[in-house]
Chains A and B, each alone.
Chain A
Amino acid sequence: MNMEKILEVKNLKTYFTLKSDKFGAEPEVVKAVNDLSFDVMKGEILGIVGESGCGKSTLGKTILKLNHKTDGEILYHGEEVFNLNDKDLKDLRKQMQMVFQDPFSSLNPRKKVGSLLAQPLQIHKMGSKQEIDEKIDRIMKEVGINPVYKGRFPHQFSGGQRQRIGIARALMLNPEFIICDEAVSALDVSIQAQVLNLLLDLHDKYNFTYIFIAHDLAVVEFISTKILVMYLGKIVETADKKELVKSHLHPYTKALFDAFPATNPKGRENRDPVLMGDVPSPINPPSGCYFHPRCPRAMEKCKMEYPPLREVSPGHKVACWLYE
């Protein structure tokens, strides 16, 4: 695999300031993305997994400049995304595409599929009408939808087909980098399997780079080459997929793997105790390590200080005082 670095995120912070309801009070701040650093190599599938409110979607949007950033750098091929002028940013958007969770709300219900797919090319003034038509036919075939249906409206398709259309739309501009934000979460399992296979086929054919954001560990574990586990805006652990599956070190990663329902009822009476407590509010995260109130192995130090993300073996980083 070509080890060219396609994206570099350095100390990225995205904070949201909430309206204060008390006069004169300091406004509250949600640290949705709190000092994250990681690289994405060309051809890699980086899975980002975490529970609601962990900042995974905000991270995806910030990388595409669909959100503001508070601090830090997002370097795409070495260039800071937030420093680009409008024209360069528009060019960049051709290369970076996003596939959203809900294929019901991400497609304009009043446009026919053909015109939904033509739109990106028209906006970027790429190709004549005939070229666009040919491309639509080719891409529709590629994602497994018969091109004769391009005169149909989105509501005439099933959820899985709509998600295929969402993927087709992302493919129209020949991107090299696609962020899938919960792209298969709304689909039935049998359809989800079809769409996952499609994403992998496209990856192999075009050597796409994906960031695959999902709450479903099984899906992330299946599709990714590298996994990043988030909790309340922080990276708690990251490693190659195989390494992480074999040895997950952080107690939260372990809890996530344990909480995942098994696909066989055998031995269910003897499972480890489940992780108690709720995910704390990102407005007032706990002191020290954010996970310490729920952590079965919390120590004194965990209450005082947030642990640094430390490399424990090549490519395997964990933020936990147990591994200092």
Chain B
Amino acid sequence: MDTANNKVLLSMEDISVSFYTHRGIVKAVRHLNLKINKGDTLALVGESGCGKSVTAHTINQLIPIPPGKIESGKVIFEGRDLLKLSDKEIASLRGERISMIFQEPMTSLNPVFKIGDQIADVFMTHQDIKREEALAKTVRLLEMVKIPAPERRIKDYPHQLSGGMRQRVMIAMALASPEPGLLIADEPTTALDVTIQAQILRLIADLKRDINMSVLLITHDMGVVAETADRVIVMYAGRKMEEANVYSLFDNPVHPYTQGLLNSLPSNEKYTDSNRLEAINGTIPDLLTIGDECPFENRCPHAMPICREPFPSETKIDDDHSVWCHFVEGKDASPSSKLVYDQGRE
């Protein structure tokens, strides 16, 4: 972990986001802190409703307000609090310094314009250049994201491309700026076939290395995390449960939820000879009625009376590994303790 503060590209401090619906207040994200260092990939991982996408949308201010409301906190990007910027200022940051790619690239591309023109538009929005020059840059960009025959492809419409190609176009569009800073990738490979997913993950990793871009990766898939992330935050029902360096998290997952999540994976090596999974019982609590206690309490195998008290504070496992859990707090949670998790497959 870095000590010099100037390496931090983006930090979120005490972010809480709620949605005021006709059924009540949905507390989507609560008291979240995170930091993304320059050139790093931070993964936010969790199941549906854990608040991972809301967190990402808060950065870009894509939360619809109302019904959404940012209750507290700051989003510091290169020294500025994004939540205090005007609409115009944030619009100029979007696409230039902070770009986003989504799960379903078909719905993110305009079906009636050629892909080359759509990418060139991004160049022309943020830079004072002519269309011809923008198109030339577009071709170079498509080469970079490994689209074959880019001179011909710029004349294609989105429906003429496969799902993997469309996601490559989206990535190219996200890079269409002189200085890409942060790429927010919201489930970028969830809609893709597994061989295509492998290609896209490899591409994001290569680009990140080549142009020193930072990535905020939103995913539900622990496998995707293992393949791409540098740091990981495990979220559950709006709360941060565990945060660690990717190697530390997979070697020694400490939070009972993280352990349950890894145990739920049928690909986990411990299941080669067993024919039942160690599933987590129960379901995610209703975010409308949730209180201040640990939201995992009703499903946790280690739940204790104290778990109904307010949410626990941070327990440091080591320099680069923290967990928020009453059970761990009261225990020796060093890597040598019995909480050590059987290693996943290589």
Contact = CB atoms under 8 A, between A and B. Distances in A.
B15 interface: no
Contacts of B201: 261
B269 A263 contact: yes
Contact of B227 (A158, A200, A218, A265): A265
B5 to A, nearest CB: 27
Interface in A220-262: 221-223, 255-256, 258-262
Tell me whether chain A's interface is mostly helix, strand or loop, or mixed.
helix
A138 interface: no
B250 A263 contact: yes
Contacts of B283: 158, 160-161, 191
| Size bracket of the B interface | 35 or more
Contact of A260 (B48, B194, B199, B277): B194
A313 interface: no
Contact of B222 (A161, A189, A256, A260): A189
B345 A275 contact: no
Nearest to B236: A190
Contact of A274 (B193, B195, B268): B195
B134 interface: no
B267 interface: yes
Given A192-B264, A261-B226, A263-B262, A255 B279 contact: no
B128 to A, nearest CB: 37
A263 B226 contact: yes
B210 interface: no
B223 interface: yes
A262 B199 contact: no
Choose among A197, A262, A279 the residue with the greatest number of B CB atoms under 10 Å from its CB.
Answer: A262
Contacts, number: 138
A52 interface: yes
A189 B265 contact: yes
B81 interface: no
B20 interface: no
B317 interface: no
Nearest to B269: A263
B93 interface: no
Interface of B: 47-48, 162, 164-165, 193-199, 201-202, 220-227, 229, 246-247, 250-251, 260-269, 271, 275-281, 283-284, 343-346
19 contacts: A51-B193, A51-B194, A188-B47, A189-B261, A193-B265, A196-B277, A218-B223, A218-B266, A222-B271, A261-B226, A262-B227, A263-B345, A264-B345, A264-B346, A265-B250, A275-B199, A278-B165, A279-B162, A279-B196
Interface of A: 51-52, 158-161, 188-194, 196-197, 200, 215-219, 221-223, 255-256, 258-268, 274-276, 278-279
- 3 closest cross-chain pairs (CB), A and B: A261-B223, A222-B266, A218-B267
